[in-house]
Structure 1
Amino acid sequence: MAMQIRKEAAISFPKIKPSKNKGYLSFIHKLPCVVTGRYGVEAAHLSMAAPQFGHYGRGKGRKAPDRWVLPLSRESHYEQHQDGEERFWSRTGINPHILALTIFGLYSDMGDDAQPFATAIINQVLANAGRLRERGQP
């Protein structure tokens, strides 16, 4: 017997125009990579949905707002796209939605003055994963 999904039970995602914030993207580029700790990052938008955090993902005609961006090294960003986001973030042990919201919240409250705080949080994430780099390490 085939199972039917009632239309009332289907999840409806709001269609919103993604907010873009050049100042925030510039701020992200000043931070270390959340996976490697290296500087010289790319702004990596999260595509996978997490409605419990207010992120409805990307789809046809829908892009992720800049709130859902994390600093990733070029290699990590490439890997994120090649492996698929869920597998990539699962392997890192990072909840990207919580981290993205935390960094965005700091920037929203403090602007560019949030850089040392965001860097400290990223370093704590790296330390928790055993990936914190020593000073002067490439």
Structure 2
Amino acid sequence: MSTTSTDVVKFSVEVITLPVSDIDRALRFYVDQAGFALDVDYVPNDFFRVVQLTPPGSGCSIQIGKGLTDALPGSLRNIYLVVTDLQAARRRLLECGVEVSAIRHKFPVDAWNGSFEAGLDPARRDYASFADFSDADGNRWVLQERGYRNC
């Protein structure tokens, strides 16, 4: 890339490939329990299948399938789903049968040293409160709250 160019190049993450062991089980989990929209389920032959799913309100999708990746099922960690209301997002997932961790927040937030305390950040600061869930293969997602007061 030229350092003299004045052109701005924009990069956008649009798809993350998620390694799963059972495509149909993962499809049911992400649609029926996690609430993702099914965008594509394409099977042109016995060796390839791509299923694309998008979380509600997201500009980035995930793909699961056959012939997409050689990564081990369950090997993705800490894929962030940023939500405006962590309590509501956690409650909805629990109601749909997803096991979600308890909510925790960074402590102390202003001089964070890697510690957490139970519950939401008392001031509901952006990026300070979290919960986790995993799919059946162990791919782990992190729910993180941002914009609670801007709703």
TM-score (normalizing by structure 1) = 0.23
> Which protein is richer in strand relative to its size?
2
The structure whose RCO (Cα within 8 Å, separation 6+) is larger is 1
Bigger radius of gyration among the two: 2
Normalized against structure 2, the TM-score is what?
0.22
